[in-house]
Structure 1
């Protein structure tokens, strides 16, 4: 039971999604509601355009991917807005099965679907006449950072990739937020998932778990305390992000590894932005360590995993903008 009680603790870092008032950018931006397809599902997105946008020009584009339980209106949208302010076209979208995007069953959070979402966003961008197909980059926050890195392994239309507080959803599910989970606890979780599926097959309601702690208890990791403060309050909460996911989806996470093939398959330049005080820092460092091509680790001193979602966003944006500009030049 202790393991189940701790699920919320490390899930919050997979799913936490934050929002804030956007800081001033170099340009004002315009926002359009867009839709694109992922197999049978219609995906809901927001396309951010720089104020100087012209349909007669060609632009570099950046895909921005939200955390596991987030939606496009939260931190991914704020980063997309800031990237548009730097002169890029940027898109944030709701993951399939979540937010305003279609996908059944609802609240399913499978890494394999999330990676395919990213590839379908690339498909969509290539249909826009003002996007230079040779200049598409991708970035993600938290689990979204892990998913874009994984997508880039085999999606070579993504020319450059970045993660902000990136989390490998599989690694963190297996090992926990600080890397201390045992194999015994992982096997126990598999048994619990099996029990939940059997109960659902026999007429019970699907088992749901929280991404983020609904209450703050003594001894909770500081990252999780801050996650609750943001995700479950007006600081960053959004009605389309209800803090629930299907427990059975964690079977996919247990078998998933965002980073395993980085040494062989990640040929694109990689930037990882982490906070010096982030509990997830070790996962971002691992991604950089595994890369055998151009790579950079950018540590924001004093920042936490969560502060890079809003408070310290500005410290990340400058680095991200220069990184994407350097690699997505005409």
Structure 2
């Protein structure tokens, strides 16, 4: 067996096993302002988002630690003219392989315009957050990242810690649902273009991976551990779309590799996940306890034409009441990343207004 696999071939064939990017007990103690200072890491201070800055919000960059000691970098958005009001708050992350300067930041800024204290954060090992090796994902650690963001929000004077919700986008929607199931401080959770990364990595799209194919992927991942898995890899998406006919790759390319959504720190825009990243997702189902989010509410939003729509539909079936599934007519998966005329801001606002009280 040749175990020194081509990075690009490995990522396409084994890394995500048909997943989105290529084929397209006690509460943690709340962080304190002093903890925020000790968690400081170098961060770009200039406005380098993929969306314009709003004059309706105040913005600052912050950092804080999760319970694994990893320092997370984040952007906090607060409505201007808020006075001394104690605000409802939202922790936001995703899509999978994106950074806070992309979709999650757009969501955070827009929800801040509507009166929320909102934080968009880079998950562990990605973007400006710390952690080595770079570009690693973990169903456990990335679930914890949401709770660490709740820790941070609950320590802020402007935030009512009894009114904290989360929004997860794409692959971090699954992690957000998992966080809500275990962290009872999260009062409501909304997702857009939800992916269950553990399901798609272990079973492929529409659960199409056979046992033999799964065994082959695990064999390749296991053998890859003999190789330097933390070495830089080939970029996830191709240089151009020449010769690419897969519509899912074309869709992701249109967001991540064009001026529409490109960001130099995004793994999907400009880099690659480590080759063995899928290992921890292969046998740790994220949504096992989704029914335990109840009686706290869930809002699942998906595009009518999204290849990922079935994840939201299946999560809706598995969740307990109160729950709601919203299908956006004519929208695909990536439209809900940044198309401000399609993302249902009014619905998100109404949902959190009702349930963060």
Instruction: Output the TM-score relative to the length of structure 1.
Output: 0.89
| 2:257 matched residue in structure 1 | 232
Taking the aligned partners of 1:198 and 1:256, their CA distance within structure 2 comes to 23
Q: Say whether residues 1:173 and 2:180 are aligned partners.
A: no
| 1:184 matched residue in structure 2 | 212
| 2:89 matched residue in structure 1 | 61
| 2:70 matched residue in structure 1 | 41
Taking the aligned partners of 1:101 and 1:110, their CA distance within structure 2 comes to 14
| 2:302 matched residue in structure 1 | 274
| 1:101 matched residue in structure 2 | 129
SS at match of 2:205: coil
Q: Is the contact made by 1:146 and 1:258 (CA closer than 8 Å) also made in structure 2?
A: yes
Deviation (angstroms), 1:186:
1.6
Taking the aligned partners of 2:243 and 2:300, their CA distance within structure 1 comes to 32
SS at match of 1:245: coil
Q: Say whether residues 1:52 and 2:59 are aligned partners.
A: no
SS at match of 2:165: strand
- CA distance 1:185–1:22, shift in 2 (3 Å): farther
Q: Is the contact made by 2:17 and 2:201 (CA closer than 8 Å) also made in structure 1?
A: no
Q: Is the contact made by 1:223 and 1:305 (CA closer than 8 Å) also made in structure 2?
A: no
Taking the aligned partners of 1:254 and 1:8, their CA distance within structure 2 comes to 10
Q: Say whether residues 1:89 and 2:114 are aligned partners.
A: no
Deviation (angstroms), 1:263:
2.4
SS at match of 1:246: coil
Q: Say whether residues 1:156 and 2:163 are aligned partners.
A: no
Taking the aligned partners of 1:134 and 1:205, their CA distance within structure 2 comes to 40
Q: Structure with the greater relative contact order (CA < 8 A, sep ≥ 6): 1 or 2?
A: 1
- CA distance 1:228–1:3, shift in 2 (3 Å): same
1:11-46 CA distance string (max 9 Å, x none): 444898xx753698xx81111111111232221100
Q: Say whether residues 1:325 and 2:353 are aligned partners.
A: yes
SS at match of 2:225: helix
256-265 or 245-254: bigger deviation: 256-265
Taking the aligned partners of 2:105 and 2:233, their CA distance within structure 1 comes to 26
- CA distance 1:22–1:327, shift in 2 (3 Å): farther
SS at match of 2:227: helix
| 2:248 matched residue in structure 1 | 223
Taking the aligned partners of 1:314 and 1:161, their CA distance within structure 2 comes to 20
Q: Is the contact made by 2:17 and 2:200 (CA closer than 8 Å) also made in structure 1?
A: no
Q: Is the contact made by 1:12 and 1:211 (CA closer than 8 Å) also made in structure 2?
A: no
Taking the aligned partners of 1:249 and 1:3, their CA distance within structure 2 comes to 12
- CA distance 1:266–1:207, shift in 2 (3 Å): farther
Deviation (angstroms), 1:113:
1.2
Q: How does 1:108-257 map to 2 (within 5 A)?
A: 108-200=136-228, 206=231, 208=233, 210-216=235-241, 220-241=245-266, 242-257=270-285
- CA distance 1:177–1:293, shift in 2 (3 Å): same
Taking the aligned partners of 1:95 and 1:272, their CA distance within structure 2 comes to 21
Unaligned regions of 5+ residues in structure 2, if any? 25-48
Taking the aligned partners of 2:168 and 2:230, their CA distance within structure 1 comes to 32
Q: Is the contact made by 1:22 and 1:82 (CA closer than 8 Å) also made in structure 2?
A: no
Q: Say whether residues 1:5 and 2:12 are aligned partners.
A: yes
Q: Is the contact made by 2:86 and 2:158 (CA closer than 8 Å) also made in structure 1?
A: yes
Unaligned regions of 5+ residues in structure 1, if any? none
Q: Is the contact made by 1:66 and 1:143 (CA closer than 8 Å) also made in structure 2?
A: yes
Q: Is the contact made by 2:133 and 2:230 (CA closer than 8 Å) also made in structure 1?
A: no
Taking the aligned partners of 1:142 and 1:313, their CA distance within structure 2 comes to 19
Taking the aligned partners of 1:15 and 1:136, their CA distance within structure 2 comes to 34
Taking the aligned partners of 1:11 and 1:44, their CA distance within structure 2 comes to 26
